[in-house]
Amino acid sequence: MRFVVDGMLGKLARWLRISGHDVVYSNDLRRSDDESILELALREDRILITSDVGLYKRCKKHRARCVLLRSEGTVNQLVELSRFLGRPIPVDFESSRCPECNGELVEIGAEEVRNHVPESIAQRYESFWRCTGCGKVYWEGSHWRSIIKTVNEYKRRIKSAELG
């Protein structure tokens, strides 16, 4: 599944990228007016996720695939998105993408790690990944624990909603 996520939903866009999905975030586009977003969704066959009723209606009119999210908070939005898709959203950390730019991540070796992160971090963690797009380096630090927490909360909710 590939998505284009509208401006108000930046946190959701990051979560989907980390979970392994190819996500264009409208705020990263050079042109992010409704027309351009819609055109991109159609051209690249992406599901448009928005909380903007106007954009949603335009999208429907052009027969693009789109989801209107009304809830707030990442977990609630994920549950709402799953309901729309009729199935749980796959989570695959093996194919995580860069939350900043949607680039693909590659694992890097200890030597390269030392050029990019402080020594204390290099010693503390085992695995590191570098974004092939923006070059940012990632490891399973404290932000990672909060992502796992969101995933678990989402799975629990999905299970009780009998979508899982």
Does residue 131 touch Zn ion according to CB under 5 A? yes
What burial class does residue 114 get, using C-beta atoms within 10 Å of its C-beta: 0-12 exposed, 13-18 middle, 19+ buried? middle
Dist. CA 146–CA 116, nearest whole Å: 23
Nearer to Zn ion (CB atom), residue 2 or residue 62: 2
- Minimal distance, residue 22 CB to Zn ion, in Å: 13
CB of 102: closest distance to Zn ion in angstroms? 7
Instruction: Give me the least distance between CB of 98 and Zn ion, in Å please.
Output: 3
d(CA 126, CA 29): 34
Asked if residues 164 and 155 have their Cβ atoms less than 8 Å apart, the reply is yes
Cα four-point dihedral sign 93, 98, 100, 103: negative
Stretch that binds Zn ion, among 56-64, 101-109, 113-121, 122-130 (CB under 5 A): 101-109
Regarding 134 and contact with Zn ion (CB under 5 A), the answer is yes
Residue 105 is a binding residue for Zn ion (CB under 5 A): no
26 vs 82, beta carbon nearer Zn ion: 26
| Closer of 96 and 150 to Zn ion (Cβ) | 96
